[in-house]
Structure 1
Amino acid sequence: MLKILKNFLPIPAKNANPFIRTLSYFDVLGLFQKDPFGNWMVLKRIVIFIAGWPTYWRIAVANKLKIEGLENLKDLPNTNVFFISNHQTYFADVISFYHIFCNLKWGFGKKLMPLYLFSPRASIYYVAAKETMKAGLIPKLFSLAGAILVERSWRAEGVNVKREVDSSAGDNVSKGLGSGWVISFPQGTTSPYAPVRKGTAHIILANRPIVVPVVINGFRRAFNKTGLKYKRRNTLLTVKFKKPIYFDENHSLDYITKTVEEIIEQNMPEMISEWNALKELAKKGE
């Protein structure tokens, strides 16, 4: 109970102004808090509150959300936790994480109780492609909830490209980890069994976060690629949190990359072969 109550205590502001710094000790609503990117936390909470109601309906009422491994999240610290997951839609996946983490803040169990939207966990960030989050009003709104925007060096507007690696991406993820929890989809695409990018391993070595592997399923069946439109309702959506793991300087980039592929279950040869066969059939119109 005490741990849950601590989740609602004000976070003192790191501000040179002594008046604002003093007020922040009584700032239960977080009016004087900013995230490491300069965004007001109260704005993030408002965005989560507004977006939370319709998205709660989509994942927990129109569909069935099953959460596994919540016991692996109970003793996590409030910062430097890195969630790595496979990816199935642009937005529905990460929205589900927000609901689960806000639910956890209130000490609720596996069933989502949307009361948490009145005081959501705001120190959550997620890595997203810049082009995706700039495409339309809704993505821009979701971006305000904590997107760490990166420019992909290998893909743009649905085609393969080659351009310089976004050097600011790692620094921004480090800022997010220093402030809270960061969600990342290390394949960088919603295509299943795509290779894991080594940028994830670089981030892990640079920050030594607690790494929590996550495996999701059902989102591709329930929603379209963006995750904003239904394909099929009453679909079982599963989010499985595995035990936290730790890496250190003795682990190579290749080792971490390979391990990440394994723990998010994206390296199974028989599944990769099956998926490639299905793609070929789809191309032939069979």
Structure 2
Amino acid sequence: MKEEADIKKELYKKPSHIFVIPVLIIRGILWFPALFLVHFFLRMEVKGKENLKDIPNGRVLFAANHSSEIDPYAFQYSLSFPSKFVPLYFVSLTTKYYPVAKFGLRSFIYGGLFFRLMGAYPVYKGLHDYESAFVNHIKILEKNHSVLIFPEGGMQKGQIGEARPGFIYLAKRTKATIVPVRILGTSNLNLKSIFSFQRKITIIFGKPISHTELLGEKEELSENELVKHAQTVMAIIKNLKNFKRCLINF
């Protein structure tokens, strides 16, 4: 098992080419139709956007809960365009985690080239090495771009799941600001509930957390420390459900 992981590390040592212009073009083309969809049919409400004003640059790791395939798309249209957080990139999985049996025709899009042109780059699971697993996202953040990650590692039905610690390593490694995000109203979302106005989506931005504020000045963190900090951020995400103030600014 360890030998297989070592072989994979060598395979994924170098990051993929990071598309910027294609991501911006596709985002620009889809911007107004998608904005109409999420605001007219899904009545999307954005709260806490004032928390983003004082972030100095785009090197931000947005950490959000995940309960639907629509989460990353709804989230990106909660941000202003253009802004320092655009282009926004996503942490996705490799193609084998999107089987046809579960995702149907969408499996031919998820994890492939078109997915990357949309800004979704895979984390390489099973390497037992965060540096290799997040090689693409380290490169993205070091270029002062923003990344959306789902700390739970996959979609959760119902309650928010436990956070995996990799995103804390990613923030520490790149000195990125962490912004906790709560996404409400997307669980069990389908076409019928979208076009029948049965749902309302809410995106809530928490206060930004600098890597030093959360992690201190230590050069390296143990696995237990990573887990502890991941749980702290996940607790903040859960509590954002009680956020009161709303600010929408497109």
TM-score, normalised via structure 1 length: 0.62
Q: Once the 2 structures are TM-superposed, how far is the Cα of residue 105 of structure 1 from its aligned partner?
A: 2.4
What is the CA-CA distance between 1:165 and the residue it aligns to? 5.6
CA gap 1:104/1:47 in 2 versus in 1, 3 angstroms:
closer
Of structures 1 and 2, the one with the larger relative CO (CA 8 A, separation 6+) is 2
Shift in CA distance, 65/139, structure 1 to aligned 2, threshold 3 Å: farther
* Cross-structure match for 1:99: 77
Q: Deviations over 1:143-189 (max 9, x none)?
A: 31211212334xxxxxxxxx756752323222111221111100011
Q: What are the residue-to-residue correspondences of 1:214-253 with 2, within 5 Å?
A: 214-221=181-188, 223-224=189-190, 229-232=191-194, 233-234=196-197, 235-246=199-210, 247=214, 248-250=216-218, 252-253=225-226
**Counterpart Cα distance in 1 of 2:38 and 2:111:** 18
| Structure 1 vs Structure 2 CA RMSD | 2.9
Partner of 2:118 in structure 1?
Answer: 145
Counterpart contact for 1:216–1:237, Cα < 8 Å: yes
Q: 2:174 aligns with which of 207, 225, 250?
A: 207
Residues 19 and 116 of structure 2 are in contact (CA less than 8 Å); yes or no, is this contact kept in structure 1? no
1:181-236 per-position Cα deviation (integer Å, ceiling 9, x unaligned):
11110001111422111112221222232111001100115x24xxxx44344211
Deviation at 1:264, TM superposition (A): 1.4
Q: 1:172 to 1:219 in 2, by over 3 A?
A: same
Conserved in 2, the CA contact under 8 Å of 1:150 and 1:166? no
Q: 1:217 to 1:76 in 2, by over 3 A?
A: same
Matches of 1:38 and 1:129 in 2, distance apart?
Answer: 16
Question: Aligned equivalents of 1:218 and 1:97: distance in 2?
Answer: 12
Give the TM-score normalised by the residue count of structure 2.
0.70
Higher Cα Rg, which structure? 1
Q: Distance in 2 between matches of 1:41 and 1:75?
A: 24
The aligned amino acid for 1:176 is: I
Structure 2 unaligned segments of length 5 or more: list them. 1-14, 99-105, 242-250
State the Cα distance separating 1:46 from its structure 2 match: 2.0
Q: Distance in 1 between matches of 2:54 and 2:217?
A: 24
Change in Cα spacing, 1:198 to 1:137, as seen in structure 2 (3 Å) is closer
